[in-house]
């Protein structure tokens, strides 16, 4: 649950900027922040982790290590003990970077691709056999959906699942049905308030995302960011 404090920080940092529609600033800020995190991780892993600032960073990160930082990719499925040096905090730690990526991917996709489609107005929409309103709805959703799905939804799933979860999706994962229900409900409520899109469309997107989150063994922050972007392009 400690790791989900990062999700709360992401909501506090990113949601206000989204609400006042500073998307160009966020587009750049995500990229700059991600580059800084990479440089910080390079510094931490390339220096003697028992000395100075690198030691402080390693000790701090160890409080929030995720199984994805500890396992070799198969241990979660096979039930093996962690064999990666990351369990001592000396390997590359990616949890914080994947959270940032998961929130950023939909916005980046929107600004790089979808925004270009509506910049030419109705002509571009007609060439795709889409009403211009559909592209505008898609743009609105993509700009916010990363925060809603990764920062809010995944955080709620972990917290509720940890505190109240009893029914696991499978024997190979700690994800629970109760956590997934909390994820789905929280995303749906916030999106119905935030977007002017029918509830059934939102239910299709979030229902699929919730099932994928419950069943995946991948790095879920990045995985959710990619999948929700694809689903929105298909369904919204």
CA-closest candidate to residue 94, choices 25, 133, 45: 45
pLDDT given at position 18: 79
Mean local confidence (pLDDT), 204-210: 94
d(CA 138, CA 98): 23
Residue 102: C-alpha distances to residues 46, 66, 193 (Å): 26, 16, 22
207 pLDDT higher than 80: yes
Predicted confidence (pLDDT) per residue in 211-229, tens digit? 999 888 777 889 999 999 9
End-to-end CA distance of the chain: 32
Under DSSP, is residue 176 helix (H, G, I), strand (E, B) or coil? strand
pLDDT of residue 102: 93
Rounded to two decimals, the pTM is: 0.79
Task: Please report the sign of the dihedral spanned by the C-alpha atoms of residue 85, residue 89, residue 92, residue 93.
Answer: positive
pLDDT digits (tens, 9 = 90+) for 155-180: 999 899 989 988 898 888 888 999 99
Does residue 85 register a pLDDT over 60? no
Q: Indicate the number of domains in the chain.
A: 1
- What is the average per-residue pLDDT within 92-102? 86
């Amino acid at each position: 649950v400690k790791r989900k404090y990062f999700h709360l920080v992401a909501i506090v940092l990113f949601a206000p900027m989204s609400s006042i529609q500073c998307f160009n600033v966020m587009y750049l800020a995500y990229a700059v922040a991600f580059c800084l995190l990479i440089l910080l991780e390079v510094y931490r892993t390339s220096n003697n982790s028992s000395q100075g600032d690198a030691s402080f960073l390693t000790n701090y990160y160890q409080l929030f290590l995720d199984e994805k930082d500890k396992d070799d990719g198969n241990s979660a499925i096979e039930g093996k003990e962690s064999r990666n040096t990351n369990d001592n905090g000396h390997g590359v730690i990616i949890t914080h970077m994947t959270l940032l990526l998961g929130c950023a991917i939909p916005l980046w996709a929107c600004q790089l691709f979808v925004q270009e489609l509506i910049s030419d107005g109705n002509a571009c929409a007609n060439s795709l056999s889409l009403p211009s309103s559909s592209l505008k709805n898609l743009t609105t959703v993509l700009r916010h959906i990363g925060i809603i799905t990764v920062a809010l939804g995944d955080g709620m799933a972990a917290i509720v699942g940890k505190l109240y979860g009893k029914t696991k999706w499978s024997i190979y994962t700690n994800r629970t049905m109760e956590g997934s229900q909390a994820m789905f409900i929280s995303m749906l409520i916030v999106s119905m308030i935030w977007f002017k899109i029918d509830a059934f469309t939102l239910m299709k997107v979030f229902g699929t995302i919730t099932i994928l989150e419950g069943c995946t063994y991948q790095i879920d922050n990045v995985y959710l960011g990619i999948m929700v972007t694809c689903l929105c392009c298909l369904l919204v």
